[in-house]
Structure 1
Amino acid sequence: MSVPHVLLGLLEPEPSHGYELKQEYDSLFGQERPLPFGQAYSTLGRLERDGQVAVAGAEPGGGPDRKRYAITPAGVTRLEDWLREPEPPEPYLQSTLFTKVVLALLSERPAAAYLDAQRAAHLSRMRELTAVRRAGPLSRSLLADHALFHLEADLRWIDLTAARLDQLAKEILR
């Protein structure tokens, strides 16, 4: 999962403090692996340096001033490019796909279109693997089968998620 892209996606609806971004990240995506505070702030620093976020104000806190970050037009472009681009069809892709779907819903982008693009990328890769399976020796055929089974599971997840997008949007956008 790409932490910079997730933070950009979480910032798009409204400016937020680093602490709030970390909490939202953890509640949506970090159940098994929360985002460390240091990584959140260092990522925000790099995004600021690269012109993808800007400080939209600072408020006094118990320690250093609390910066409120806002996404810039360059950040929106980077986020849109990432959301639009299908991920390489590989095993264990669901967490990245899930992240893209949630961020698309949060920003009112076409999550179904992203799932359709990912489905097309998976089907293309499955055709390639099927050709390898048919033409190769048993060892290559078995490796191709292994990859095909994982891609089939991804396709089932994509279809299930597409069918439940409205329900997921209601849950996330409370």
Structure 2
Amino acid sequence: MSIPLTLLGLLEREASHGYDLKREYDALFGRGRPLPYGQVYSTLARLARDGKIIAGEAEPGSGPERRRYVITETGATEFEQWLTEAVPPEPHLQTTLFTKVVLALMLGRDAHAYLDTQRLAHLRRMRELTDLRRGGEIVDVLLADHGLFHLEADLRWIEATSGRLDQLAAKVRA
């Protein structure tokens, strides 16, 4: 996910302080991976340097001085272009799963054991996401669905690969 473009989108809605942007980002997009404050402020600094946002004057408050950030026309244009572009539908053809299977076979190791371990990890994560769907708000439900669909595809690949390990071993050991 593009953090700079996501922050531009949040700023297009309304001018905000860095602290508020982080809070909103974490609530909507940071499930399990909150955005570090340092990354928020370094990203805002780069966006300001590139003319995509303007940092307002420091405002005194009950804590450290805060700046309100406002998106510029340049930033709004870039965000609009990004928002209307399709995400490339073709996944990466060489994943970590594939790489580990090929290397295990090349080295004469048990690729079946690796695939079994990976299958169990995927199933465990799918149970967690299913639980999240049951009690979650719509944002959690949709994110869980996205994760579940990807994990289901990985599981189908694991099954197909398990059935073809002998063929793949012959190819990579040749």
TM-score computed with the length of structure 2 as normaliser: 0.50
CA distance in 1, matches of 2:28, 2:82: 18
What are the Cα deviations for residues 16-66 of structure 1, in whole angstroms up to 9, with x where unaligned? 000000000000000121111000000000000000000233211355421
Counterpart in the other structure of 2:2: 2
Counterpart in the other structure of 2:85: 85
CA distance in 1, matches of 2:39, 2:26: 13
Question: Is 2:51 aligned against 1:51?
Answer: yes
Question: Is 2:36 aligned against 1:36?
Answer: yes
Residue 80 of structure 1 and its aligned partner are, at CA, apart by 0.4
Report the RMSD for the aligned CA atoms in angstroms: 2.4
Q: Which has the higher contact order (CA 8 A, sep 6+)?
A: 1
Q: Which one has a bigger Cα radius of gyration? A: 2
Q: How many residues align?
A: 96
Counting only pairs closer than 5 Å after superposition, residues 8-19 of structure 1 correspond to structure 2 as 8-19=8-19
Letter in 2 for 1:45: A
Task: Name the SS of the counterpart of 1:70 in structure 2.
Answer: strand
CA distance in 2, matches of 1:4, 1:39: 10
Counting only pairs closer than 5 Å after superposition, residues 151-166 of structure 1 correspond to structure 2 as none
Task: Name the SS of the counterpart of 2:67 in structure 1.
Answer: strand
Letter in 2 for 1:88: P
Task: Name the SS of the counterpart of 2:74 in structure 1.
Answer: helix
Counting only pairs closer than 5 Å after superposition, residues 1-174 of structure 1 correspond to structure 2 as 1-61=1-61, 64-91=64-91
Q: Structure 1, unaligned stretches of length 5 or more?
A: 93-148, 154-174
Task: Name the SS of the counterpart of 1:57 in structure 2.
Answer: coil
CA distance in 1, matches of 2:16, 2:90: 33
CA distance in 1, matches of 2:70, 2:30: 22
Q: Structure 2, unaligned stretches of length 5 or more?
A: 93-148, 154-174
CA distance in 1, matches of 2:63, 2:83: 36
What are the Cα deviations for residues 54-94 of structure 1, in whole angstroms up to 9, with x where unaligned? 023321135542110000000000100101111111449xx
TM-score computed with the length of structure 1 as normaliser: 0.50
| Percent identity of paired positions between Structure 1 and Structure 2 | 64
User: Once superposed, which parts of structure 1, at least 4 consecutive aligned residues long, lie more than 4 Å away?
Assistant: none
CA distance in 2, matches of 1:21, 1:63: 17
On the 8 A contact 1:8/1:76 being kept in 2, the answer is yes
